[in-house]
Amino acid sequence: MAGTRNGLEIRAELMRRGMSIADVGILAKVSRPLASRTVNGLENNRKVLQALVAIGVPKKWLALPEDMKKGKEAA
């Protein structure tokens, strides 16, 4: 990862949008704990990261893997 994921900013953005980590998990079709670990930078789940991008969380807070930085979809 080029930088570190900014979990506090991501959570604040989700709150501004009326969403929770559980909502991200549902959108990404993963468990809430996996969504939380990804937001906090402990995991690098691409489904969760793609959901966060789709929600509109600024990419600069996500520390996306290189293959996701240019809008490429990862499996």
pLDDT for 69 equals 78
pLDDT digits (tens, 9 = 90+) for 32-44: 999 999 999 999 9
Q: What is the mean pLDDT of the chain?
A: 88
- Alpha-helical (H) ranges within the chain are 7-16, 21-28, 32-39, 46-55
Using pLDDT thresholds of 50, 70 and 90, give the confidence band for residue 67.
confident
Mean pLDDT of the 1-22 span: 88
Say what percent of the chain tops pLDDT 70: 89
Contact 19, 32 (CB under 8 A): no
